[in-house]
Structure 1
Amino acid sequence: MAGRADTETTVAVADVLPEYADAFPFDRFNEMQTEALPAFTDSEENVVVSAPTASGKTALAEIAICETLEAGGTALFLAPLRALTNEKESEWERFEDLGYSVYVVTGERDLNPRRAERADVLVMTPEKADSATRKHDSRRYGFITDVDCCIIDEVHLLDSDRRGSVLEVTISRMRRLCGPRVVALSATMRNVDDVAAWLDAPAETTFEFGDDYRPVPLDAGVKTYSHGENAFADKYRRLYRALDIAEPHIREEGQALVFVSSRQDTVQAAKKARDEIVERDVPMGARGEYDFHTDASDLNNDTLRQSVLDGVGFHHAGLSREDKNRVEQWFKEGKIQLLFSTSTLAWGVNLPARCVVIRDTKLHDPLEGEVDMSPLDVLQMLGRAGRPGYDDVGYAWIVCDRSDADKYRDLLRDGKDIESRLAEDMDSHLNAEIALGTLHDVEDVMDWLETTFYYQRAQSAPHEYVAGSDLRERVSETLRSLVDDGFVEMDDLSVEGTALGRLASKFYLRLETARGFADTAERADDGVDLAEDDVLRAVAAAAEFDSVSARSDEEDAVAAVLGSRADDLGPGPRKVLAILHSSMSGTTPTELKSDAWVIKQNALRMLAAFRAFLDRFAGPKAANLARRVEARVENGISESAVGLTAINGVGPGRASTLAAEGYRTPADVVDAGVSGLVSAGLGEGVADRVVTNARELPAVVVEWGDLPDSIASGERELHEVTVKSVAGSARAGIRVTINGHEMTAKPSYLGEATVPVAVFGADADELDLCVEVCFPELPLPLVEEHRTVRVE
């Protein structure tokens, strides 16, 4: 492993990368970058670099990108957080200026496959890269197999709960798919050799830069506070403790960065801190600076606008990009002396402060309840202490309860080994690999195991991991359980994913959730009619919501929504169910709103998945019900209005307006025409667009052909009925019943379809023929057309 160089020399960027000198915001590489440089420029081996926070690792990523571009290849940068992908897009406009294309692929944007395919630099989160590699053989995501260099920013994310295993299997999969060069960058980690061994990085391209490479030495410690009975009051106890720590530095014209657990906490802490600073007579703020006062008036956030003039700011992912950029710039300039932030700032923006305080070591997760902040986040935040060029030392403090103090002191003293989290989700990840078709037999499964960081850690720490033959047996047991539960089929030694396994992989479901969805769908296929509440209950009971908790004030709100319904569910699933029910009508109680957004977004993903299960195992009618429920949860509208949301340009407001006038379907909108929609309250231009878009959706017509009005008793005749759309086309399910008994059911793509109808004179006086048409992928109401045939 490379160590510290004997020389203190640095090199000029233009001497090493003359074509790309304008892509760097400085003229010379620093000592750390200079020492690592030959590993990038003189070698094609994989590279692993562990270096202190703020030592310049981002430039190493940019060197790797330049080398890849020089060779005509494509670079993929894996950012640890979605918020950081947007920042890289802005920051790397420098590459755009040199004629290269930078494209960010995230779940919050519609993918443009052509742009992704043509991009020279791709920026993704591990989760999005996982999704792309799972769909690599599709036209939309085929670009992922063209990656020549994969740069992992903050590879110690491997040790992060569920996200760590996602990163681990994604890198292993990419190496099998396209064999890119891998560059792994990390803050200081004790077992860098394990990461290097996993990635096959040789000693000469593996670097462990110690604290002597840190631009500013770090003085870190733990401060305790007196814990009370009230969690709300405890926040303020910790805030006053944090201000006690920060105040001396602020009085010396230094700056303090205080990390808190949530977006709302950044705002509330900033408000309280402003009052406390006035009370303590701490000299700070810039109200007398006319230009700053003018600039501050441009802020979008009202609270922030008032706060920054007093030298206090807050920063979180919910602020507009313009406001975040201004806050970051003013903090760098010293106009903001005290900044409250969530952990996002620690992972991405290079925004150091003389003093860093972690006020909250626990946070509320809507899906997990109260959880400890990860050690990785803690170390990342503390690493922001110390401003290069301004401070001789950085000060970093953790404020915690006395019962946690020793835990954090040990972390500061000893650091932390990076562990694999794959064992926690071994079954779902192994299922995904088999469902993708990358593993064909038991030997492939064992070969896959050896590509994982889990396997490498088991070799180096056998006393902490299942090792050797025991490890192979554990994987064999996991494989057998997948077979027993119906996710995988095994014939002799070959393995293949089932429909259940493929759906679980496609929608990133925990396997117990997938099994539950399939069981519900199969019951529906056996004739059990599903209602809206059944769909919502299936999602609320998903294993992904197992750790949701309901606080006492929330339980009253849940009861107000649900009444006595779902008393058999636990408090967490009942809370999820209440949020879903109230979301359908757009009336979520105030007490539930703080968690509702996250739960709702996850539930929409679950509803889409459940719809696919119903489509596959129960049929299009059940899937259509789930699609309508999904659209109601998303839009907060009535059953009568939901079908209109299928029209492009019709959101919940317009859908409700049109439904109030009696319109329910796109076909109704087309029949009404522009004048009808104008009469309903839409502007003429909007009405014209809505009618045009409505014509792209199906309008069902049933043609009964030569079906007779009557039939003699005991006679039997076979006829054909035509079902067609006179407007747009879509995948449909067609079902024919006679007096409530199913006679024909077939999937079709309307268009046009013919279905056989057998008419026979039975004991009944008349036959009620019903043709049902439903669309499993559109929130359109079920179409029913009836025809009566007399029996004479």
Structure 2
Amino acid sequence: MEVAEVLPEFADAFAFEEFNRMQREALPALLEREENVVASAPTASGKTALAELAICKALADGGTALFIAPLRALTNEKEDDWDRFEELGYTVYVVTGERELNSRRARRADILVMTPEKLDSATRKHDSRRYDFVTDIDVCVIDEVHLLDADRRGSVLEVTISRLRRLCEPRVVALSATMPNVTDVAAWLDAPEETTFEFGDEYRPVDLNAGVKTYTHGENSFADKYRRLYRALDLAEPHLNEDGQALVFVSSRQDTVRAAEKARDEIAERDIPMGARGNYDFHTESKELENDTLRNSVLDGVAFHHAGLSKNDRDLVEEWFKEGIVELLFSTSTLAWGVNLPARCVVIRDTKLHDPLEGEVDMSPLDVLQMLGRAGRPGYDDVGYGWVVCDGSDADKYRRLLRDGKEIESRLAESLETHLNAEIAMGTITDLDDVMDWLETTFYYVRGQSRPEDYDFPNLRQRVRDCLEKLVDRGFVETGDDLSIEATPRGVLASKYYLRLETAAEFAALCDRAEESAGALEMDDILTAVATAQEFDSVSSRQDERDAIDAVLVGADTGDLEAGERKVLAILRSAASGTTPGALRSDAWVIKRNATRLISALGAFLDRFVGPHAANLSRRTEARIENGVAEDAVGLTAIDGVAAGRASKLAKEGLSTPGDVIDADIDGLVAAGLSEGIAERVYEGAQSLPSVEFDWGTFPDAIGTGENEVCEVTIRNVGEPARAGVRVTVNGVEMTSTSTYLRDVETVPVGVFGADADGLEYTVSVAFPEEPLVPVEASRVVDVR
């Protein structure tokens, strides 16, 4: 069945000319019916085309399609792959946390690509102008719906799909690798039997011969990696000798490089006939690689692939592997979920991995099955070989997985409070009956009906009541006399910023302490609150990191912090000064990324419950960690185009604030080392920020004991309007604090009174909670006579 016959107007959107057997069987359900569709099929059988068929139908009907990709790395891949739709005049727009959202483009897009997490965040804010595009979806394609069973991420996908269906009732097309309980997923999504497909192994383009191989476990984990590597090479060698290819999955980016380097030596030792050193043309092509280590490796037929490589290098490695020039490829698991890159032999060297936030964890069963599914090259091999290399104690577990597959379970019960709070915060749940109605839309409810004892289903209503009582007790929800349910400001902020409830409660407690001490707060208070957040509760500190952690925290009051909390605090403190020790860098990126999100959330709590000055401190802390700049130069990062390097350069020349930049003018910036073009942009950027001047008017120099006088201090904003906090203190004690939108002029009443002190120092301070600008202060001293 040719694509051009079935969809003549979309023929160029497909990467092939004919539909295969599996695609043909699903085609009528996708194109000729309107119901939801669930299809389970083996890896490499062509499921992506089912997604594209559903998208084509939506586009032909004038609708908008949403594609939910399981990983952020795969959203960019889809964007590149679906240039084919762009060439037909349709727009594809990727929405991720890494990119600045262009709401206008999202609203006009024909195809949206998002991760479950980003869709969850967007649907929580669906009633805002920024995210209203999520309520205009006609078809939602869930790629790899078996992600429902993933730790933490699974419950996000589950509640988000349930919410999206309530918001705009899109047609849902759910695709999955082979799973035993596909009918439960169909029941959850209301897909009838006629549009539910369970394609078995007979639809695999190449038969799979999968098994488990053990290795002798030692006491040294570093040496164990090489034991497993040699075991993997033993399994790959027969295929490499016969011009086959092998794909070896390892646990980290760093390990792909180390394993490739060691494998090259071992291949030479074993005299395996591999490599293209005699191929002059390939020698020339390999110079296009940006990574030097990779360039040397590919000439021996060995390569590595991970998300940290440049797109150019990843594309070249994939192309050469498909062409057979690269014969042995080491990769992280991301490759198994994305590019269709099969090999005759697949070996999973590592079944455990180090997660910066979780410590050592087992690779998920879903990942294992997904990786093994890459074994066998359609059109080249009659059979693919897949092996799991593991310790003997784990062998039976993986043999059962390969024999029986993995039933998909709901993970909602593990985070029910958090998701229930989010629904209440959005106003979709207002009483206990609403809670039960909401639960009935979840996969959790469907699985509970299938396995009531395992899901404690007979006690579901009582469990929900207990959950609501906890939310009330912890200050996230309040109940009315009529048993209605409503979110508190704390509950709304926890939902808006995607916080674990324990973390939100700790942030609220910090706000209470700050308010009791009249806003007294230090950067270390913020860093400690974040380092001890539940989001980091599984971070562990390895032995080789302890010295570096102690060096960073020397002299700091770390109290009774645990080892993992000390590690997070050390990474944040060193990041704020741009001096992260080498021993901590491997985990620093992930921890910093999560910490800046948490600091932003803490800033919102401080803004709501303490005031703009406290929120401004949080914003400056966030900017320091993002940019690695000193406290006195952090305000420069508020200027568009000024990050760590440029801020440090300007600060060394004595220009440490946007005001200094304006005073220096373009000539002064050029003298400070900027090129003229950049100097002009930086100068313009500084002018687009708020800038404050004070006029003390008739403020007295002295006052008699017992006398008092009310004066007025005028604050002028000669820059751009912005929200601000104005605080007046006398001898360091706060007198007044107000929040305002500072457009032009603000007059602040200041009471001058003759007290027992010899002199009174009045300070007016202006802070901008949404900008990392150091608060602007002015003081006057009044003698008491």
TM-score range, shorter chain: over 0.9
Q: Determine helix, strand or coil for the equivalent of 1:688.
A: helix
- AA in 1 matched with 2:509: D
Aligned residue among 314, 322, 326 for 1:324: 314
The equivalent position to 2:383 in structure 1, one of 383, 393, 397, is 393
- Note if 1:543 corresponds to 2:537: no
- Residue type matched to 1:674 in 2? I
Give the alignment's Cα RMSD to 1 decimal. Answer: 1.2
Structure 1 counterpart of 2:137, which letter?
V
Distance 1:732 1:79 in 2: 40
1:555 pairs with 515, 535, 546, which one? Answer: 546
Equivalent residue pairs, number: 781
TM-score where L is the length of structure 2: 0.98
2:115 equivalent in structure 1 = 125
Q: Which residue of 2 aligns with 1:702?
A: 694
TM-score by length of 1: 0.97
Question: How big is each residue's C-alpha offset from its partner over 1:161-200, in whole Å with a ceiling of 9 and x where there is no partner?
Answer: 0110110011000000000000000000010011000000
Bigger mean CA offset, 397-406 vs 599-608: 599-608
Partner of 2:135: 145
CA distance in 1, matches of 2:729, 2:602: 26
Distance 1:386 1:514 in 2: 48
Rounded to whole Å, the distance in 2 between the matches of 1:24 and 1:703 is: 68
Measured after TM superposition, the shift of residue 715 of structure 1 is 3.1
Structure 2 residue 58 is the aligned partner of structure 1 residue 68:
yes
1:43-96, Cα deviation, whole Å (9 max, x unpaired): 100000001111110000000000000110000000011111111111111111
Q: Could you tell me which residue of structure 2 aligns to residue 41 of structure 1? A: 31
Q: Distance in 2 between matches of 1:764 and 1:556?
A: 50
Question: Which amino acid is the alignment partner of residue 656 of structure 2?
Answer: R
Query: Paired residue for 2:715?
Result: 723
Q: Distance in 1 between matches of 2:267 and 2:99?
A: 42
Paired with 1:429 and 1:34, the residues of 2 have a C-alpha distance of 39
Q: Aligned match of 2:468 in 479, 484, 491? A: 479
Instruction: Give 2:516's match in structure 1, choosing from 516, 521, 526.
Output: 526
Alignment partner of 1:744 is 2:736: yes
Judged with a 3 Å threshold, the aligned counterparts in structure 2 of structure 1 residues 668 and 564 are, in CA distance, closer, same or farther, namely closer
Correspondence list, 1:191-270, <5 A: 191-270=181-260
Q: Which residue of 2 aligns with 1:3?
A: none
Alignment partner of 1:375 is 2:368: no
Alignment gaps of 5+ in structure 2: none
Note if contact 1:744-1:756 (Cα within 8 Å) is conserved in structure 2. Answer: no
The answer to whether structure 1 residue 759 and structure 2 residue 783 are counterparts is no
The equivalent of 2:647 in structure 1 is: 655
> What is the match of residue 633 of structure 1?
625
State the distance in 2 between where 1:71 and 1:39 align. 16
Q: Deviations along 1:337-359, whole A, 9 cap, x unmatched?
A: 11111001100111111110000
Tell me what 1:777 maps to: 770
Gaps of 5+ in 1: 1-10
TM-superposition CA deviations, 1:509-533 (whole Å, max 9, x none): 1110110011011100111621121
1:240, 1:766 → 2: CA distance? 79
The answer for the alignment partner of 1:108 in structure 2 is: 98
- Partner SS for 2:140: strand
Q: After superposition, what is the alpha-carbon deviation per residue over 1:315-345, rounded to whole angstroms, capped at 9, x for unaligned? A: 1111111111111111111111111110011
Residue aligning to 1:164:
154
Instruction: Quote the Cα distance in structure 2 between the aligned partners of 1:657 and 1:286.
Output: 47
- TM-aligned CA deviation for residue 639 of structure 1: 1.2
Q: Provide the C-alpha distance between the structure 1 equivalents of 2:668 and 2:46, rounded to a whole number of angstroms.
A: 63
User: Which one is further off, 29-38 or 559-568?
Assistant: 559-568
Letter in 1 for 2:375: A
Read off the aligned partner of 2:270 and give its amino acid letter: R
> In the alignment, residue 474 of structure 2 is paired with which amino acid?
D
Distance 1:327 1:120 in 2: 31
- 1:28 maps to a residue whose letter is E
Structure-to-structure mapping, 1:568-607, within 5 angstroms: 568-607=560-599
Counterpart in the other structure of 1:184 = 174
SS of the counterpart of 1:641?
helix
* CA distance in structure 2 between the partners assigned to 1:503 and 1:745 by the alignment: 23
1:425 corresponds to which residue? Answer: 415
Q: Which of 285, 298, 303 is 1:313 aligned to?
A: 303
Question: Hey, what's the Cα distance between the residues in 1 that align with 2:276 and 2:111?
Answer: 41
Q: Which moved more, 1:572-581 or 1:756-765?
A: 756-765
* CA distance in 2 between partners of 1:569 and 1:106 (Å): 34
CA distance in 2, matches of 1:66, 1:75: 9
Q: CA deviation at 1:107?
A: 1.2
User: Does the alignment pair 1:98 with 2:88?
Assistant: yes
- Alpha-carbon contact 1:75-1:149 (below 8 Å) kept: yes
Helix, strand or coil for the counterpart of 1:151?
A: strand
> Which deviations, in whole Å up to 9, do the C-alpha atoms of 1:235-283 show, x marking residues without a partner?
0000000000000011111111100000011111111111101100000
Instruction: Report the counterpart of residue 326 of structure 2 in structure 1.
Output: 336
SS at match of 1:708: coil
For 1:594 and 1:172, how far apart are their aligned partners in 2?
37
1:567 CA displacement: 4.3
User: In the TM superposition, what is the alpha-carbon distance from 1:563 to its structure 2 partner?
Assistant: 2.1
Q: CA deviation at 1:564?
A: 5.3
Instruction: State the one-letter code of the partner of 1:223.
Output: K
Distance 1:178 1:651 in 2: 41
Q: Kindly provide the amino acid, as one letter, of the partner of residue 710 in structure 1.
A: A
Alignment of 1:449-460 (within 5 A): 449-460=439-450
User: Could you tell me whether the CA contact under 8 Å between 1:744 and 1:755 is conserved in 2?
Assistant: no
- Which residue does 1:351 correspond to in 2? 341
For residues 515 and 226 of structure 1, the distance between their equivalents in structure 2, rounded to whole angstroms, comes to 47
Match of 1:490 among 479, 498, 505: 479
Q: Does 1:297 align with 2:290?
A: no
Measured after TM superposition, the shift of residue 663 of structure 1 is 2.4
Asked if structure 2 preserves the Cα contact closer than 8 Å seen for 1:49 and 1:206, the reply is: yes
Name the structure 1 match of 2:403.
Answer: 413
Q: 1:6 matched to which residue of 2?
A: none
Post-superposition offset of 1:712: 4.0
**Which residue does the alignment assign to 2:425?**
435
Identity %: 71
CA contact (8 A) 1:585 1:637 kept: yes
Q: 1:696, 1:729 within 8 Å by CA — same for their partners in 2?
A: no
Q: Any idea what the Cα deviations from partners look like across 1:196-222, whole Å, max 9, x if unmatched?
A: 000000000001011111111110000
